[in-house]
Amino acid sequence: MSPSRPLEFARSTEKEPHLERARAILRAHPEIKDLCGPTRITALFVLLLVGGQVAIAWALRDSPWWALLATAWLVGAFIDHGLWVLIHECTHNLVFRSPRLNAVLQLFTNLPILFPAAASFRKYHLIHHRFQGDPELDADLATPFEAKLIGNSFWGKAFWELNFWAFQAMRVSRLKRIPLVDGWYIANFAIQIAFIAGVWALLGPRALVYMFLASIFAIGLHPLGARWIQEHFLVKAPQETYSYYGPLNWVAFNVGYHNEHHDVMRVPWTRLPKVRQLAPEFYDSLHYHTSWTALWLKFLFDPSLSLYSRMTRTGDSGAGTVRAEDTAKAA
């Protein structure tokens, strides 16, 4: 295997790094525990972003196709990306104290994204934290088939970014130990179908196309799409989680503070930068990114960075069904 063009995933015999580092951080800085807990102002941002995206779709309902495309890339992608981050906050119960209220808000936050993703994200993301790098349980990992299909070329990786939503959905078939369908999942689907039908009937097809394009660009062929590369793609092996400390954190609800988030998951976006400020000795020595745009271009054009650029491990989950509720304490 050429080191410049990896043809298989990296392997680790170590446990995922965050649990031990979290313990060390909290021993050295117990005051970080004071940063934990929900922040209700996040719900206000949800209302603003959902309302804003619907308002833009209404304004574009009779616009030419080029205007839909340009607005989706330049504006809509940032709104939808923000909504994804706020879905993530709800997943960790960082808006309200009640898990049920967070789950309900999560479904509302999902509306302009169109794809019914909130309920399944809540399930798979919590398990990702507990079993990072485990091919049987970590939905954040590409399948071997997916990695081989996309390869190392610009065109393959651009195709993957443009269709990231579809590849993400297909990974579910690999995660056989995680039950997918439940009441929240069904409700998520039903609400999204009703919302899409309502937008079509009241605002017309072009408004719906705008929302669809914004959803695609928010997670795909856009500098914002580099966030999914930034978090766990190996640019400085064996380090397997990376933070982003660039200016787009201002419009991305500090989601770039990914090492900090994995280490202390109960800290909301409003207080995540404080974790690094209070414990710099744990973070300043780690490799981090300062530009999503530069990383995006590197991923597209550098053959040494591909879907194989991930650390995998055999987890300690035993056998049988794994549920998100089992990871609640870690979340």
| 2 occurs within a structural domain | no
Provide the number of structural domains found in the chain.
Answer: 1
Distances (CA, A) of 268 to 49, 173, 274: 18, 31, 10
For residue 181, being part of any structural domain is answered with: yes
Q: Is residue 305 part of a domain?
A: yes
Domain membership of residue 4 (yes or no) is no
Q: How far is CA 11 from each of CA 124, 128, 139, 183, 296, rounded to the nearest angstrom?
A: 22, 17, 17, 36, 24
Residue 115's pLDDT is: 95
Q: At residue 10, does pLDDT exceed 50?
A: yes
pLDDT at 254: 98
Query: CB of 225 within 8 A of CB of 161?
Result: yes
Which amino acid is residue 158, in one-letter code? A
265 pLDDT band (50/70/90 cuts)?
very high
Write out the residue range of the structural domain in which residue 25 sits: 10-327
pLDDT score for 322: 55
Residue 214 lies in a domain: yes
Mean pLDDT of the region 62-80: 98
% of the chain at pLDDT higher than 70: 94
Return the CA Rg of the chain.
Answer: 19
Per-residue pLDDT band for 39 (boundaries 50, 70, 90) equals very high
The answer to whether the beta carbons of residues 86 and 46 sit under 8 Å apart is yes
Region 109-129: mean pLDDT is 95
pLDDT, tens digit (0-9, with 9 covering 90-100), for 174-187: 888 888 889 999 99
Residue type, 257: Y
pTM as predicted: 0.93
Instruction: Give the span between the Cα atoms of 296 and 276, in whole angstroms.
Output: 24
Q: Does residue 192 sit within a domain?
A: yes
Q: Quick one: pLDDT band at residue 325, thresholds 50, 70, 90?
A: low
- Could you tell me if residue 166 is inside a domain? yes
Q: Is 146 inside a domain boundary?
A: yes
Confidence label for 1 from pLDDT (cuts 50, 70 and 90) = very low
